[in-house]
Structure 1
């Protein structure tokens, strides 16, 4: 598992260039099916536009696609995809809707307009880093509950569900790269007096704010 950058919420931005209205929309997506659904959503939100240019990157399979939707080849989708690549964003779809204003922009003008509109939107969009974590369930006697929780806080190891019965069970999220260190540390710290079981692996988001 590897970390990567993405966005977690939808957003939009727009600008007018030589009387043409350019509206950029960003969507978090995980599959080509979600891409198709959000493309249709963009068409419904902004009906009767001249063009619905888009680009997306999916982390699974390292899939990248762009489309000019009737604009001259390479003047719409490619500049939008360039912005996503430059910012190293994955699992993101950007659609730029154009309402034609009657003035031809030329290939250079179109490239700047589509790329610039996408860039303007992503300048104000919060970026998150998805970091792989191993999930462990730690089972211990009640005497160990406070010492363990204190150590987890000191090491910035996040905890999840807790169950209290004859023993205490605590769910702990450990960064993937630290997982072997955690198991070794836990055995040494407790003198092998507790049970530790690997349960799962997940991606947890860390907000980085807008990433210019």
Structure 2
């Protein structure tokens, strides 16, 4: 079963340290192409900055990368990537932009500034867990509709679209780890009077709040 933490919303946060302005942006991403679009957007939103430090992690292929963009090696991108790794976040791009204020911060100061600006932003955002679900279509007579809806709620099986025609067809999203339980339970309490078909799979988001 696929299951990982991510952030599904964009966000920004900034602070000023010794006259340098640090701005952090977060973008949900799935591919390197989307990463590049996010970087382009960051440069458009905040032009003429001295540095565009960034880090990202992509779940597909377990790909992760960071760059210091002209800052001393290991003082920019690495601290941002450390924040993403510590929080176990995937499919996320974080860009930290610096407008230089004329005062040198030193390697320790830069590390704290870039890592801290990324951390402050992520502290304010909701974290979601993406979990693989199997999509079922359950077809039944109208006499089963309310009973089935009750069972879905009782077992935390999420429903989707509904089609009311000669019979009732309802989409049901079931965690992959609960497939056997769902199929057995459905057959048991309906005495096999309903039709259940697999329609594919999907990653669904489940909120886990913030991870400070």
For residues 151 and 125 of structure 2, the distance between their equivalents in structure 1, rounded to whole angstroms, comes to 35
For residues 176 and 77 of structure 1, the distance between their equivalents in structure 2, rounded to whole angstroms, comes to 36
For residues 125 and 147 of structure 1, the distance between their equivalents in structure 2, rounded to whole angstroms, comes to 38
Structure 2 spans left out of the alignment, 5+ residues: none
Structure 2 residue 122 is the aligned partner of structure 1 residue 122: yes
Deviations 1:85-128, CA, capped at 9 Å, x for gaps: 00000000000000001111111111111001101111111111
For residues 113 and 146 of structure 2, the distance between their equivalents in structure 1, rounded to whole angstroms, comes to 57
For 1:174, the equivalent position in structure 2 comes to 174
For 1:23, the equivalent position in structure 2 comes to 23
Provide the aligned length of Structure 1 versus Structure 2: 212
For 2:43, the equivalent position in structure 1 comes to 43
For 2:94, the equivalent position in structure 1 comes to 94
For residues 33 and 54 of structure 2, the distance between their equivalents in structure 1, rounded to whole angstroms, comes to 15
For residues 158 and 19 of structure 1, the distance between their equivalents in structure 2, rounded to whole angstroms, comes to 50
For 1:69, the equivalent position in structure 2 comes to 69
For 2:194, the equivalent position in structure 1 comes to 194
Deviation at 1:150, TM superposition (A): 1.1
SS in 2 for 1:131: strand
Deviates more, 1:201-210 or 1:71-80: 201-210
For 2:158, the equivalent position in structure 1 comes to 158
Deviation at 1:15, TM superposition (A): 0.6
For 2:185, the equivalent position in structure 1 comes to 185
SS in 1 for 2:201: strand
For residues 185 and 128 of structure 1, the distance between their equivalents in structure 2, rounded to whole angstroms, comes to 28
CA RMSD of aligned residues (A): 0.8
SS in 2 for 1:70: coil
For residues 125 and 190 of structure 1, the distance between their equivalents in structure 2, rounded to whole angstroms, comes to 43
Deviations 1:47-97, CA, capped at 9 Å, x for gaps: 110000000000100000000000011110000000000000000000000
For residues 164 and 110 of structure 1, the distance between their equivalents in structure 2, rounded to whole angstroms, comes to 61
Structure 2 residue 116 is the aligned partner of structure 1 residue 103: no
TM-score (norm 1): 0.98
Structure 1 spans left out of the alignment, 5+ residues: none
Deviation at 1:142, TM superposition (A): 1.2
Extract structure 1 runs of 4+ deviating beyond 2 A.
Answer: none
Deviation at 1:18, TM superposition (A): 0.9
For residues 37 and 121 of structure 1, the distance between their equivalents in structure 2, rounded to whole angstroms, comes to 20
For residues 181 and 209 of structure 1, the distance between their equivalents in structure 2, rounded to whole angstroms, comes to 28
